[in-house]
Amino acid sequence: MNYETTVDADGNSQPMEGSLQDEAEREERAGRNRKIAIGAAIAVVALILVWWMFTHGSDATDFAPDENAQAPSITVAAPGRTTIEGTITATGTLAARREMPIGVVGEGGRVVSVPVEAGQWVRAGQVLAVIDRSVQTQQTASSAAQIDVARADANLAQANLDRALKLVDRGFISKADVDRLTATRDAAVAQVKVSEAQLGERRARNAQLNIVAPAAGLLLERNVEPGQVVSPGSGTLFSIAKDGEMELLAQLSEDDLARIAPGVSVQVIPVGGAKAFTGQVWQVAPVINPENRQGIARVALSYAPELRPGGFASATINSGTVVAPMLPESAILSDDAGSYVYVVGKDNKAVRQPVTTGLVTNGGIAIVSGLAGNELVVLRAGGFLTEGETLRPVKAAASAAAPKPQANTPAGAGAN
């Protein structure tokens, strides 16, 4: 800061008295201004505080200490009651519902031709393979000739008998001779019938040399080629799915098997495909495998090219509906005493509530008993709570509180 100075006779500079006084007055005025500004600010704050107190007097209790301020915030929801479509998911093997193995019926021989291929539809009686019959044809001709010989003998025997009967009255032929000629005639007639039967048998044997389809259906297997020699011991040469009908042999646990009945609807998806096929359970296994405690549910399916016998497929079986509260899996706890949930009780206290679970679905688990549906149930973090603990319940959003009942019970899942 600059000050005005004077120089005395000795050359020393001295500040002027008037300048010092002016500087002091300026500092004093600045101090007063600062005090006035601070006082004004305090007055404004006081006025704002008084105004807020008067306008929010009803909320004055907010300044009181909250005894639940330290309680944990817990997400809760009232599950209500939902209609749940129960299903059972299983896996199994595809097969022909009525598979007909076909082999050699006759005496066999060398295969001449096989006019069919696997995958073709065949009709009842259609020829599947032809076996060489050159020898059998000659034997048939011989049997036919034997009939002519027998008929000639029968005609001769009848003529001899007729002549003898004319001579009996004259006394030239005895009664014993007539009886002998009659017996000869009868034997000759019988021999004709024997020869005719032998010819019929030979023709039937020849007909068996053609391997034919016993019923209409889809040809699944062809295990023979032209030139191959076959016999009754050659095994299965062809396999036919009668009428093309297929089925799924679904493996189910004892519990799941008891929950279904013939006639229930089933959705089947073959492995490697995305297309679903609708079928029906037509038979439930009457026995349970003692080794794996599983049984077979046979699901009837109409023909489709994607359904290949021997393939693997998954099935979703309709097991009925139930109306019950539904909760997410995170809300259900269990210990040695069984399954339970925490609900919000009086004074926001955690209360343990035993429950019985039912259908397991993609959207949650049905509660068969223990809840009415209007309770506030702790959805998450129940494992960190203790009974009687004070909570700060926070209601969940509608989507979280009400899971969609899309049933998809894994095989073996049931009521706990």
Q: Quick check: is 64 in a domain? A: no
Are residues 80 and 126 located together in one domain of the fold?
no
CATH number at residue 403: 2.40.30.170
Contact 149, 195 (CB under 8 A): yes
Are residues 160 and 118 located together in one domain of the fold?
yes
Are residues 31 and 91 located together in one domain of the fold?
no
Are residues 264 and 289 located together in one domain of the fold?
yes
Are residues 206 and 278 located together in one domain of the fold?
no
Contact 197, 62 (CB under 8 A): no
Are residues 30 and 130 located together in one domain of the fold?
no
Nearest to 72, CA basis, from 397, 389, 395: 389
Q: Quick check: is 222 in a domain? A: no
Are residues 208 and 321 located together in one domain of the fold?
no
Query: Which one of 166, 189, 212 terminates a domain?
Result: 212
Query: Which one of 157, 192, 212 terminates a domain?
Result: 212
Distance CA 281, CA 257 (A): 11
Q: What DSSP element (H or E) covers 23?
A: helix 17-55
Are residues 266 and 404 located together in one domain of the fold?
yes
> What pLDDT is attached to residue 47?
74
Nearest to 239, CA basis, from 380, 95, 377, 40: 95
> What pLDDT is attached to residue 19?
56
Residues of the chain short of pLDDT 70, as ranges, are 1-24, 50-70, 171, 320, 398-416
Q: Quick check: is 49 in a domain? A: yes
- Reported as a single tens digit per residue, the pLDDT across 96-118 is 999 999 998 878 889 999 999 99
pTM of whole model > 0.95? no
Are residues 86 and 154 located together in one domain of the fold?
no
Q: Quick check: is 227 in a domain? A: no
Between the alpha carbon of residue 372 and those of residues 32, 43, 106, 285, the distances in Å are: 75, 60, 73, 37
Q: Quick check: is 232 in a domain? A: no
DSSP 205: H
Structural domains in the chain (count)? 3
Are residues 10 and 157 located together in one domain of the fold?
no
Q: Quick check: is 230 in a domain? A: no
Are residues 306 and 322 located together in one domain of the fold?
yes
Nearest to 139, CA basis, from 205, 187, 193, 191: 205
Q: Quick check: is 291 in a domain? A: yes
Sequence-distant (6+) residues with CB within 8 A of 174 are none
Q: Quick check: is 294 in a domain? A: yes
Angle at 172 between CA 168 and CA 174, to 5 degrees: 60
- Reported as a single tens digit per residue, the pLDDT across 280-328 is 999 998 899 888 889 999 999 998 889 999 999 999 888 767 788 888 8
> What pLDDT is attached to residue 354?
93
> What pLDDT is attached to residue 95?
93
Are residues 170 and 41 located together in one domain of the fold?
no
Sequence-distant (6+) residues with CB within 8 A of 402 are 77, 79, 80, 82, 326
- Residue 272's domain comprises 70-97+245-416
**Strand stretches in 233-327, DSSP E:** 238-242, 246-253, 265-270, 277-284, 294-301, 312-324, 326-327
